[in-house]
Amino acid sequence: MPAGRGLYLAVEPEVLLDEPFSALDPLAAESLRTELVRLWHDNLATVHTLVMVTHSVDKAVYVASRVIVLSPRPAEVVADLKIAMSYPRNRKSPGFQKCLDQVYSYI
C-alpha cells in the first residue's frame, strides 16, 4: 500500500507484516503501539506472529520479544536478540536500558 493512502486493519491474519505507525503523529503512534501490545499479549487478537520494521531501537525493545539487527546494504543479520522482559514494559527500568544498550552495541 502506498504511504499516506490511509490506515488499514487486517482482520484475523495469521502473520502481520508492516512498518506500522510511520505515517502517524508521535502521540497517536505511541497509543496504537501500546494498544497493539496489549491486544497481542492478552490474546485478544488472532495474530500469532507480528513482524514490524523500525529504525527506532526504543520502539523495537518496547514491543518485541525478539529483535533482529540488520547491517547496512546489502542487509545481513548482525544479531538476533531475545527480549526476555514481561509486558507492559517500563522504559525507565534498568532491564529496559540494558536491552537498549545490547541492541545499540550491534549498530
Count Cβ atoms below 10 Å from residue 85 Cβ, excluding itself: 17
Count Cβ atoms below 10 Å from residue 62 Cβ, excluding itself: 23
Give the whole-angstrom CA distance, residue 96 versus residue 85.
8
* CA distance readout (Å), 93 to 44, 58, 86, 90, 104: 26, 13, 12, 5, 17
Q: What is the pLDDT of residue 51?
A: 82
> For 28-37, 38-47, 70-79, which range has the lowest pLDDT when averaged over its residues?
38-47
pLDDT tens digits for 43-101? 777 767 778 888 889 989 998 899 999 999 999 999 999 999 998 899 999 999 999 99
